[in-house]
Amino acid sequence: MKKYTFKSQYIYIDPFNSSNSGVTNYIKASKKILEENLIIKVDIIQIKDTESIYEFSLRVASLLKKMDYFCVEFPESMATSRFLEDYTKVHIRIHCGKTLGKFIQNQYYKKEEYFAEKEAITKAKWVSSPSYLGWEFTSDFYKVKRSILIYPNPLDLSFIPEYSFDNKNIPVLFLGRFQDLKGINFLKKIQKKLPFKITILTSDKSYKSPIFSVKYHNTVEEKFEILARTKILIVPSIFDIYSMVSLEAIACQAKVITWSHIGITEYFDNDKIIVIKPWNIELFSEMILNTLKNKEYFEKEEVKKINILFINFFHDFLNLRTTALPPHDLAVKQLKLNDLKIKIENLSIFNRRNRFYRKIKKLITNPINFFIDFIIKIRNNFLI
């Protein structure tokens, strides 16, 4: 792969610092790929176990005053850029804000948390998202309209083991946090329609289930070893801006079945990720059985293409050749969009009786009726 040279410093801010955090894993993979391919110095400032978010945000602001850097990237979640005096070098990466995640799951959150995340997105010089859907939903929730950048999250392929298809002895795997957001309410319905048990992969040793087969992992290597033995990964998430587990599964030569509005589907054709319109459990289950009959699979090259998109974007970005465009214009240039995009209208948060709140509640408690009632927006398909 061609290497580029950029003599400056890029800084990632990690307010999670956890091996189970998608943000942490994204940052680690990004650092490795950028340093290997662009010859750029990349630093990470991580929260300490003893720090609160408030204390970490203060420490970050103090450290950045003493550092010489080209750009500093924060996740919008937690709004740890809140104490910065200068936003001219700030890049906010959309991962699904803390308050947005809580809102979708019908959980309480504080107004000040919402406004802090909104301010972080508003003030930043650059804002980016790994999917057009992710920005569309984020923009509606925080009521922020601005130009953005769209490029994929990369994957560190060094963890991927080599297995042939004959070694794949796990028919169907679910890998994700046990939250409504990840679609756990769909799993039991899917399981009832299958003649074998779905395997649940978790790091939570306390989790037991009489319905599913459960496997545990302690390390990243163990997780990828199980993914490499998997034929199909199912991702029934209610909402996911990207879905790194889908990318990990594809790298391990597993098929992925998910809903058609999940962010990662913007980067792959249907032969790589099999998409089902929400929330058709019958078709989802039927597609699992049909896919198991097909022994064709694909190579790591598919994920390498994602990493190349990431590298090429940063090559231009670090040389100031990338201009933030309105998300629709950028999507036309870069992404293949599905025919289904969920569009939230008449957003008025903090009013628990408002239309948006009622729709999200119905989405979780009765997804079939929700889909019938929900506002869907049909878009044209665009190719990379």
Structural domains in the chain plus CATH codes: 9-155+307-334 (3.40.50.2000), 161-298 (3.40.50.2000), 348-377 (no CATH)
| pLDDT one-digit tens code per residue, 124-146 | 999 999 998 888 888 888 999 88
As a whole number of angstroms, the distance between CA 283 and CA 197 comes to: 18
| pLDDT one-digit tens code per residue, 38-76 | 878 899 999 999 999 999 999 999 999 999 899 999 999
pLDDT at 272 over 70: yes
- HSE of 136 in the Cβ direction (CA atoms, 13 Å)? 23
The helix-helix angle for 244-251 and 301-318 (nearest 10°) equals 130
| pLDDT one-digit tens code per residue, 171-219 | 999 998 777 778 888 999 999 999 999 999 998 888 889 999 999 998 8
